[in-house]
Amino acid sequence: MSLLEDKSQNTTPISQLGEFGLIGHLTKNIVLTHKNTVKGVGDDAAVIDIGDKYQLISTDLLVEGVHFDLAYTPLKHLGYKAVAVNVSDICAMNGEAKQITLGLAMSNRFTVEALEELYAGIHLACEHYKVDLVGGDTTSSTSGLMISITVLGEVEKNKISYRSGAKVNDLLIATGDLGAAYLGLQLLKREKELFVGNPTIQPDLTGNDYVLARQLKPEAGVKYIKILDELGIIPTSMIDISDGLSSEVLHLAKSSGVGITIYEDKIPVDYTAMNLANEFNLNPIFCALSGGEDYELLFTVSQEHYDKLKKDADFTIIGFVTDASDGNNFIANDGSSHSLTAQGWDAISKK
Ligand code: ADP
Ligand code: MG
C-alpha cells in the first residue's frame, strides 16, 4: 500500500472532474492572505499590486506525448512556442510580458545539441517578444521532455482586462482566424502515420505552410494589444483562445455572469484552412470551435467602439453579450439556434 493513499476512502478518477473541474476542486479552499494579491486562480494570469502598476504571473507546462510529438515538432519551434503561449496569457490580461523563468526536465536520450536547438527557439522568442529569461530549473526525467515556463508581465492598473468584466450588449470580438492550428496538427499526424507505414515516403506538406506555422510556431497577440491601445479601447473582458473558441466563450460568460451568442457565418477561418478541412472531411467551424491552440484573443468591448473595430480586418465581431438567462448560443448559417457546449455546439453530429 502506498504511503500517500488512504485506501479506506473511496477514490475518484480524475476523468470524473475533467481539467477545469479538477482545478476548481483543488483550489476552492485557497484563501488569499496578502493585501497586494489582487487576483489568484481563475484568470489567464494572477495579478499582484506592485505600486503604480499590476504585475501579471502565469505558468504553462508542455509535456512530450501530451502537448507535442517530437516526430514532427522541430525543437527550435517547440522552444519558440513554449515562450509564445506564455506571452499569450499576458496579452489576455491586456498586459506586456517582461520576464520568464524556465523549468526543464529531460530524459537521457536528449543530447546537448538537441537542447541547444530548443534554446535557439526560446532565445528567438525572447528577442521577438522583448522578454528576459531570468532563471529556471533543470532536472532529469524518466519520460521525455517537459518544459514549464512562468512569465511575468505588467499592465497599467486602469488598462487590465479580466475574464469577468463582460457587460450585456457588449460586442464579442475574435482576432485573426481560427481552426488553422488544429488542421495543421491533423496534417502532421497524417504524414506521421504514412511515414510509420512506409518510411521511404517523403512528407507531402506543400501548400500548407500557413496551417503548419499556426500549429508549430504560433504567435502571441502582442500586435493586437498594441492596436487596441492605439484605438483607445480597453476590452471589458478578455481571454486567449488556447482550448477552442467555444470553451473560451463559456469561460468569459461564466466569469462575467452573462450569456454570449455567436454566429457561425461570422467566425473567421483562413481559406487554406477551409480547403484543408474539406480534404479531411472536417467541418471548419468545428475546428474553430473545438480545435484549440490558435492563441488568438477573444474579448468583449462596449458597443461605442463598433466603428473603430469594424474597419480593421484583424478584428472580427462574432457575437454579442446577453443576460445570463439567455444562455450561450450558436446561431448556425440556416438561422437555427443551438446551445453552445465546450465540445462545440450540440448539432455537430448533424454536419
Ligand atoms: P490558461 O488556459 O489560460 O493557461 P488554465 O485553464 O490552464 O489557464 O488555468 C485556469 C486557471 O487555473 C488559471 O488561473 C491557472 O493559474 C489556474 N491553475 C491551473 N492549474 C492550477 C493548479 N494546479 N494549481 C493552482 N492553480 C491552477
Ligand atoms: Mg489563457
State pLDDT tens for residues 11-39.
Answer: 899 989 988 889 999 999 999 999 999 99
Residue nearest atom 5 of ligand 1, based on CA coordinates: 44
Residue pLDDT, tens place only, 120-170: 999 999 999 999 999 999 999 998 999 999 999 999 999 999 999 999 999
pLDDT of residue 351 exceeding 50, the answer is no
Regarding beta strands 132-140 and 96-106, do their DSSP bridges make them parallel or antiparallel, or are they unpaired? parallel
41 C-alpha to ligand 1 centroid (Å) = 6
Please report, for residues 9, 27, 47, 114, 167, the alpha-carbon distance to residue 256 in angstroms, rounded to integers and kept in the order given. Answer: 37, 19, 17, 44, 8
Give pLDDT tens digits for 95-104.
Answer: 999 999 999 9
Ligand that lies nearest to the alpha carbon of residue 240, given by its number in the listed order: 2
pLDDT of 43 higher than 70: yes
Mean pLDDT of the chain: 93
Identify the residue whose cell numbers are 480545435: 291
| Between 351 and 221, the higher pLDDT residue | 221
Q: In the chain, where does DSSP find H-type helix?
A: 18-27, 75-91, 112-129, 180-197, 209-216, 222-230, 245-256, 271-279, 284-290, 306-310
pLDDT exceeds cutoff 60 at 348: no
Contact 334, 345 (CB under 8 A): no
CA of residue 88 to ligand 2 center, whole Å: 7
| Spacing, Cα 62 to ligand 1 middle (Å) | 13
Taking only the tens place, the pLDDT of each residue in 214-268 is 999 999 999 999 999 999 999 999 999 999 999 999 999 999 999 999 999 999 9
Whether 242 lines ligand 1, by a CB cut-off of 6 Å, is yes
Binned at pLDDT 50, 70 and 90, residue 70 comes out as very high
CA distances (Å), 29 to each of 14, 176, 234, 237, 271, in order? Answer: 18, 38, 32, 25, 46
Does 5 have pLDDT greater than 70?
Answer: no
CA of 44 to the centre of ligand 2 (A): 4
The number of the ligand 1 atom at minimal distance from the alpha carbon of 41 is: 14
Q: What is the pLDDT of residue 347?
A: 43
Closest ligand 1 atom to residue 85 Cα is: 4
pLDDT of residue 345: 59
Residue 3: the pLDDT is 64
Cβ(41) to ligand 1 under 6 A? Answer: yes
Q: Which three cell numbers, joined as nine digits, stand for 88?
A: 499569450
Decide whether any atom of ligand 1 lies within 6 Å of the 40 Cβ: no
Percent of the chain scoring above 70 in pLDDT: 94
Taking residues 285-289, report their average pLDDT.
96
What gap in Å lies between CA 93 and CA 47, rounded to an integer? 9
Measure the CA dihedral 274/276/281/287, to 10°: -60
Residue whose CA lies nearest to ligand 1 atom number 10: 42
Residue-level pLDDT at 199: 72
Instruction: For residue 8, count other CB atoms closer than 10 A to its CB.
Output: 5
The model scores a pTM over 0.85? yes
Task: With residue 258 as reference, give the H or E element that holds it.
Answer: strand 258-263
